[in-house]
Amino acid sequence: MKRIAGLCLALLGLGAVAMAQVGVSGFYVSNQADGWESSVKDNAGDPVVALPGQGWQAGIDYWFRLKKKRVEFLPTLAFSAAEQQLISPSGIDQEVNFAMRQLSFFWHTQLYLLDLGSDCDCPTFSKDGNSLKKGLFLQLSPGLSYFSFSAEGYPVDFDDRHVAPGIGAGLGLDLGFSDFLTVTPMFRVVYFPSTTWEGLSGNGSDVINVPGVSDETSLWQYQAGLRVGFRPDERRRRWRR
């Protein structure tokens, strides 16, 4: 899974660099799934934990925009990871390690509502003007994710793989440091209506895997982080002048 994710990110990166408008991003991710909240204690002794835990996301994107409107598009390939350690429900002092790996493609669409009619050649700001007006945007993000779930420490195997559609929304602010570099702090919420981890509930067997959980649930991901955008095409444009 890691090799596939690395290869896909590398290929997308090479293609994006060749087209000269590329961004990289990193996010902290907090996962919340109501159907995966367990009464099992975690390794800190807390009585309730939520699988699959907290984690991170790294992504790479290609940027383009409409010519006469401040509507921008960032098709993005991202890899995420999250882990959670629990104490075995058998009462034995044994840690069980749960992990989620996620490979996602999202079509991020950014609407600069305060500057929608502008012809600003953003996301870098060589022009004078109000940075908040030019840089604040609403992001809408339909996409698809491939999930890989695993658990280590139980006598039974309930690893699973699953593909799920998702939709996200967020807010961000472009901060232009030069004609070639933009840094964008961002907060985003992504919702997956149905995510499946087959076997997590025990499937009616005598082996209790994680008490109080179901195999299927909706999943919310709260993401906070930064995107760094590069515009080497701006350098070539300046050389031609």
CATH code, 155: 2.40.160.20
Q: Residue 93 above 60 pLDDT?
A: no
Provide the pLDDT confidence category of residue 138 given band limits of 50, 70 and 90. very high
Q: Residue 118 above 60 pLDDT?
A: yes
More confident residue, 55 or 87: 55
Q: Residue 34 above 80 pLDDT?
A: yes
Question: Angle at Cα 19 formed by Cα 14 and Cα 24, nearest 5°?
Answer: 60
Three-state DSSP state, 124: coil
Per the structure, the count of domains in the chain is 1
- The DSSP bridge pattern shows strands 22-32 and 216-230 to be antiparallel
CB proximity list for 194: less than 8 A, separation 6 or greater: 164, 216, 217, 218
- CA gap 235, 225 in Å, rounded: 27
HSE value, Cβ hemisphere, 13 Å, CA-based, for 39 = 6
Across the chain, mean pLDDT equals 80
CB atoms near residue 213 (< 10 Å): 21
Provide the pLDDT confidence category of residue 67 given band limits of 50, 70 and 90. confident
- Predicted local confidence at residue 42, as pLDDT: 58
- CA gap 232, 63 in Å, rounded: 12
- Predicted local confidence at residue 68, as pLDDT: 84
Nearest Cα to Cα of residue 41 among 94, 119, 77, 81 = 94
CB atoms near residue 184 (< 10 Å): 21
Three-state DSSP state, 116: coil
Range of the domain at 105: 2-240
Which range (95-99, 128-132, 197-201) has the least confidence? 128-132
End-to-end CA distance of the chain: 46
Provide the pLDDT confidence category of residue 164 given band limits of 50, 70 and 90. very high
Do 210 and 86 touch, CB atoms closer than 8 A? yes
pTM for the model: 0.80
- Predicted local confidence at residue 98, as pLDDT: 85
Torsion of CA 80, 11, 122, 229, to 10 degrees: 50
Provide the pLDDT confidence category of residue 13 given band limits of 50, 70 and 90. very low
Paired tokens of 43: 């390794």
- Predicted local confidence at residue 39, as pLDDT: 67
More confident residue, 226 or 20: 226
Q: Residue 202 above 50 pLDDT?
A: yes
Do 231 and 180 touch, CB atoms closer than 8 A? yes
More confident residue, 126 or 98: 98
- CA gap 160, 98 in Å, rounded: 12
- CA gap 117, 113 in Å, rounded: 9
